[in-house]
Structure 1
Amino acid sequence: MTDRPTRTAGLPADPPAAIPAEELRRRALDSLTAARDRTSLLTSCVDDRELTAQHSPLMSPLVWDLAHIGNQEEQWLLRTVGGRDAIRPEIDSVYDAFEHPRSARPTLPLLPPSEARAYAADVRGRVLDIVERTPLHGGGPLLDAGFAFGMIAQHEQQHDETMLITHQLRRGPAALTAPPPPAGDTSGLPSEVLVPAGPFTMGTSTEPWALDNERPAHQRLVPAFLIDTVPVTNGAYLEFIEDGGYTEERWWAPEGWAQIREHNIGAPLFWRREGGQWLRRRFGAVEPVPAQEPVLHVSWYEADAYARWAGRRLPSEEEWEKAARHDPASGRSSRYPWGDEEATPERANLGQRHLQPAPAGSYPEGASPLGVRQLIGDVWEWTSSDFLPYPGFAAFPYREYSEVFFGGAHKVLRGGSFAVDAVACRGTFRNWDLPVRRQIFSGFRTARSADSVITDSVIADSVIADSGTAGSAGSGGA
C-alpha cells in the first residue's frame, strides 16, 4: 500500500450547531472521498478472480464488500436523506449483512467486479450532489452536523479494515505494500502507569459523529489501578509461549482451553516456528517476528490467559477509557489521549499508512496526560468487559447497529488498529467481537488493581518518571 496521505473528517467536540455548515460539508466530502480512495486501492490491487474468491469462511469475498458499501450508501444517503428513487432495489437483500452470514455469501447472485465498481461509482456521483444541497442543521438528528454522511464514511472505512483482514488471510504473493512505521523506544519509560481513583466522564453526548453505543456521556467511579504503559509486545508474549503458556490449563478460561485443544493452537495466528526461529506471515510475506512490536492476531482467550500468567488481568472498558481520556489535572475527558485535536501521523498509527503496528514506545506525541502510549492505533485492545449499553442508551438510527449485539457473547475492544481510519476511531469508540476471534487486528495491554495504600516509590516510578511524555488536553467537552 502506498504512503499516500488521506484527509479525515473528525469533528471538534463542540455542540453540532456551533460548527459552520460549510465546514461540515467540506469534512463530509473529505471523509467520503478518503474512504472511497481506500476502497479503490484495496479492490484494484488484485484481479477479478481474487475479488470473487472467498479466502476464508470467516470473511466475505472482496467483491461483496465493494457492492455492500455502495448499497448502504444508496439506502441511507440517496433514498433516506436525498429522497431519491432506488437505483437497484432488487439487490438490497443480497447485500443485507444480517440476512446472509459471511460463509454463505459466495453462493449469492453477487454483482461481478466491473458491475460492482460501476454501481458504487454511480451511487457516489449522485451522493456528491446530495451533500452539496442538503441542509446540515435543523433537519433532525440524522442530518444535524452531517451525521448521516459521517455514519456512511465510518461504515466504508470499517469495511476497508475488514477487506484488509481478507487480504491478510488470502494466500499468494503480496498485493499491498507500505513503508515501515517509525522506530519506538521504551527506554526510560515505566512499565506501568498509575491511574488515580475517582470519577470521570465516560462516553459522549457532543461528539457529532459518535455512534449510538458511545452515548450518552455519564459519570463512572473507577478505583485506582495500574495499566501497562505500552501494549504487550511479541517479545513479552514469546516468554508466555516458551514458559508453556499454551500447555497449562490453569491460565485459561474453560472455553478458551477448549478452543486451543480443539484447534491445536500454540501461538498467535499466522505465526510458525521454523529452524529454531519464530516467523510470521504478513500480507503474503514471511518474516521474523519482531520482538518490540505489539502482539497481533490473538483472541480474547489468549489475551486473558497471558494476563493471568503474568499475574495481572485485562483492563475493564471503563479503566481503558479513563486511562485514555481523563486528565487528572483538569478533571475533564478529552476526545483523544493527546487532547481534542485531530489525529496526525505524529500521534497515532492509523489509516493503513503502515501495514503493521509500530514498535512499543512509539508516538510520544500521542501519549495520554498520565503518559500511557499507543492507546489509539496500532492494535485493537481487548478489554475484560462484555459489550453492554450505557445508562440512557437509545438505538439510533437502527437497532441492528449496536443493540442486537449487547450481552455476554461479545467482548469490547478499544483504541483502533493501524488498519482503521481516524474518522472511525476516537477515545469513545467501541468495537466488539467474539472472544474466539483471531483474524482481526487485535492485541492487548494488561492492568492490575492498586493497593489501598500507594507508596511514594510506586507513584514516582509509575507517574512522575513519565511526566515529560504526557500529552495536554485541549478545550471542549466530553
Structure 2
Amino acid sequence: MNLITQAGSEVTDTPADAASAEVSPVDASSTYIDLPLDERVSLLNAYQHIRAETEKLTDPLSAEDMQLQSMPDASPTKWHLAHTSWFFETFILQRYQPGYRLFDAEFHHLFNSYYNSLGQPFSRPQRGLLSRPDIDQVYDYRRHVDRAIEQLLTEGDCPAEIAALITLGGNHEQQHQELLLTDIQHAFSCNPLLPAYSDTQNDGEPLSETTALNWLRVPEDTYTVGGDGTAFQYGTDFQYDNEGPPHQQYLRECRVASRLITNREFLEFIQEGGYQEPRLWLSDGWAWVRSNNIHAPLYWQQREGEWYQFTLSGLHPLELDAPVSHVNFYEADAFASWAGMRLPTEFEWEVAAWLHRQPDTLADANMLEKRLYQATAECSGKPQFLGNLWEWTGSAYLPYPGFRASADAVGEYNGKFMCNQMVLRGGSCVTPASHIRISYRNFFYPHQAWQFTGIRLAGDPD
C-alpha cells in the first residue's frame, strides 16, 4: 500500500500495519514562525463548528441512506464524511503533527477524491459499493482526526503556515456540506416513495409574490475583478486560488436582471414549446434534450395536469414565485434566447453584484442556515445576488491572467478543472453563509443540474 508523507512529495512504501505506524513531520521552513495563541483559538473554534455542522446535516439520515450513490456525479453521505477527514489527515496531520498515527492506511486510497499526485483514487462511480468501512468506523475516523487537530493547535509548537491549510480544509468541508445535501436529494428523488430529508420547507412562511423584474445598469468602464490575493497567507480573508489574481476587465455597458427567473416564467417557456424548438438551443444542448427526452427541469413532475417539484422536504406543488432551480447551462441559455436576452458573463455578474450590493446583503441572503429551499425570487425591492441559487453565467471556467496553481498536491484543488466547464456565481440555499462571497467562482459541466442552479438574465442597453 502506498502512502504519502508530505503533500506533493514522492510516494513512499508503507508497511501493512501502517494504521499504527508513526508518520514523521516535515521541517516546514528554515525560518520557523509559531502560530499565535489567539489565532490557534480562532482556528480551533472554526474547525470544531464546521465539523459539527457537517454531522448535524446527517442527523435525519439512516445508515442505509448514507450508503446511497444514485449516479456517478454524486457520492454517498458516508464518503463525504470520510473524505473531508482524509483531507485534514493527508495535508495537515501527516505533515505537521509529530508522531501522528494513521487511523487506517487503506483509507488513503478509498477516500482520495481526485489527487492523482498522491496515488490512484478509488473509482468515483463505485463509491456506493464501499459498504465497508461501516458508518461507525467512519465516525471513529472523524473523531481520530478531530483529536489530532485539536492536539496540534493546543499542544507544543504550531507552525503559522498551517493556518492557511486548516482554513482551506474548513472551506473544503463546507463545499462537501452542500454536496452532501444535493447528493442525498438526488438519491431520494430516485425512490418511488419520494422520502423527505427534512420538513424545513413546511416550517417557513408562505412565499411572497415576486416583484416585477427590473434591470440594473452596469456602466461601460474598466473594472478590477477577482479576489484581493490574500488567500493562503494566514487563513484570513479566505479565497480560493481560482478567485485571483485581481485584474482589469473592460465591460461594455450592459444591464443585469434584478432577480432570478421564476418557476412561473419558466413554465411559460415550457408551455410555448421551449423544449421542442431547436433554434433556441445550443447544438450540444439540443442533443442533450433529444437523447434524454427532456421536457422540464430536473425534479419537476406533472400529475393530473398539475406541476409538482421534488425538494429536500419531499414532493410539493410547484411554487410559482420561487426561482426556477435545478436547470443546467443548456436550459438556462435556451430560456435566455427565448426571452430575447442572454446570460451575464461572470465579470458582468461580479460588477453588478458589487455596484448594487446592499449593506445587509449577506444577512438577507437565503443560505444553508435558513430553509434548505429557494425562497421567493425577490420580493423586498432590493437586488439580492447571494444565496437562493447558484447562477449560471455565459463564461467558460478559465484561469484569470497571471493564475498559477500551487506546485504541490493542493494545487490539484481547482486549476486542473479549467476545461469544458461553465462558471456559476452567488451561492445557494444549501451553501453555508460563511462560505460565500461575491468573488467566489463555482463551476460545473453544462449538462449538470443536480445542484441548486438557476437563471439570471442580462442584455445590452435598450
**TM-score, normalisation: structure 1:** 0.79
**Structure 1's 186 and 106: CA in aligned 2 closer, same or farther, altered over 3 A?**
closer
Quick one: structure 1 residues 83 and 317, their matched pair in 2 at CA, closer, same or farther if it must change by over 3 Å?
farther
Q: Secondary structure at the match of 1:358?
A: coil
Q: Tell me the CA shift for residue 180 of structure 1.
A: 2.5
Task: Report the Cα offset of residue 105 of structure 1.
Answer: 1.5
* CA distance, structure 2, for counterparts of residue 322 and residue 411 of structure 1: 18
Indicate how the Cα distance of structure 1 residues 424 and 134 shifts in structure 2: closer, same or farther if over 3 A, else same: farther
Q: Tell me, what secondary structure is at the counterpart of 1:44? A: coil
DSSP-derived class of the 2:267 partner: helix
Which residue is equivalent to 2:8?
Answer: none
The answer to whether the 8 Å contact 1:212/1:402 transfers is yes
Structure 2: distance between partners of 1:62 and 1:181: 30
- 2:393 equivalent in structure 1: 383
Kindly report which structure 2 residues correspond to 1:81-120, keeping only aligned pairs within 5 A, or say none: 81-87=96-102, 88-98=104-114, 99-108=121-130, 110-120=132-142
Higher normalized contact order (CA 8 Å, seq sep 6+, divided by chain length): 1
Residue number among 180, 188, 204 corresponding to 1:180 in the alignment: 204
Q: Give 2:434's aligned residue.
A: 423
1:374 aligns with 2:391: no
Question: How far, CA to CA, are the matches of 2:272 and 2:142 in structure 1?
Answer: 51
SS in 1 for 2:371: coil
Aligned length: 406
**Alignment partner, residue 168 of structure 2:** 151
Gaps of 5+ in 2: 1-34, 115-120, 232-236
Distance (whole Å) between structure 1 residues aligned to residue 155 and residue 282 of structure 2: 54
**Of 277, 289, 296, the match for 1:260:** 289
One-letter code of the match for 2:219?
A: P
SS at match of 1:308: helix
1:196 alignment counterpart? 219
C-alpha deviations, 1:125-147, integer Å up to 9, x for none? 221232345888x84xx44xx32
Alpha-carbon distance in structure 2 between the residues aligned to 1:419 and 1:251: 31
Aligned mate of 1:235, from 261, 264, 282: 264
Amino acid at match of 1:174: A
Distance 1:199 1:276, change over 3 A: same
Deviates more, 1:123-132 or 1:229-238: 123-132
Q: Which amino acid in structure 2 is aligned with residue 387 of structure 1? A: Y
SS for the counterpart of 2:301 is strand
Which piece of structure 1 moves more, 428-437 or 283-292? Answer: 283-292
Distance 1:79 1:261 in 2: 49
CA distance in 1, matches of 2:244, 2:61: 39
Match of 1:164 among 181, 194, 202: 181
Q: Corresponding residue for 2:417?
A: 405
Identity %: 32
2:230 — aligned with what? 206
Name the residue aligned to 1:66: 81
Q: CA deviation at 1:21?
A: 5.1
* TM-score (normalizing by structure 2): 0.82
**Aligned match of 1:343:** 362
Partner of 1:376: helix, strand, or coil?
coil
The alpha-carbon deviation at position 75 of structure 1 amounts to: 1.4
Q: Could you tell me which amino acid in structure 1 is paired with residue 332 of structure 2?
A: A
SS of equivalent to 2:109: coil
One-letter identity of the residue aligned with 1:111: P
Cα distance in 1 for residues equivalent to 2:157 and 2:334: 51
List aligned pairs for 1:321-340, cutoff 5 A: 321-326=350-355, 337-338=357-358
How far off is 1:432 after superposition? 0.3
Mark the CA change 1:92 to 1:273 in structure 2 (over 3 Å): closer, same or farther. same
In structure 1, give the amino acid aligned to 2:220: A
The structure 1 residue matched to 2:333, chosen from 273, 295, 304, is: 304
- Select between 226-235 and 175-184 the one with higher mean Cα deviation: 175-184
- Structure 2 distance, partners of 1:237, 1:264, is 18
The alignment yields a C-alpha RMSD, in angstroms, of: 2.4
8 Å CA contact 1:94, 1:110 repeated in 2: no
Which ranges of structure 1 fall in alignment gaps of 5 or more residues?
1-19, 328-336, 368-372, 452-478
How far residue 79 of structure 1 moved from its aligned partner, in angstroms, is 1.9
Corresponding letter in the other structure for 2:448: R
Whether contact under 8 Å (1:31, 1:423) holds in the other structure is no
The answer (yes or no) to whether the contact 2:225–2:249 under 8 Å persists in 1 is yes
SS in 2 for 1:193: strand
1:131 is matched with 153
Aligned to 1:122: 144
Distance 2:361 2:93 in 1: 29
After superposition, the C-alpha distances for 1:343-381 in whole angstroms (9 at most, x for unaligned) are: 33xx211124211111022566xx5xxxxx221111000
Within 2, Cα distance between the matches of 1:201 and 1:379? 25
After superposition, the Cα gap between the structure-2 partners of 1:51 and 1:108, relative to the gap in structure 1 and judged at 3 Å, is: closer
| CA distance in 2 between partners of 1:223 and 1:249 (Å) | 30
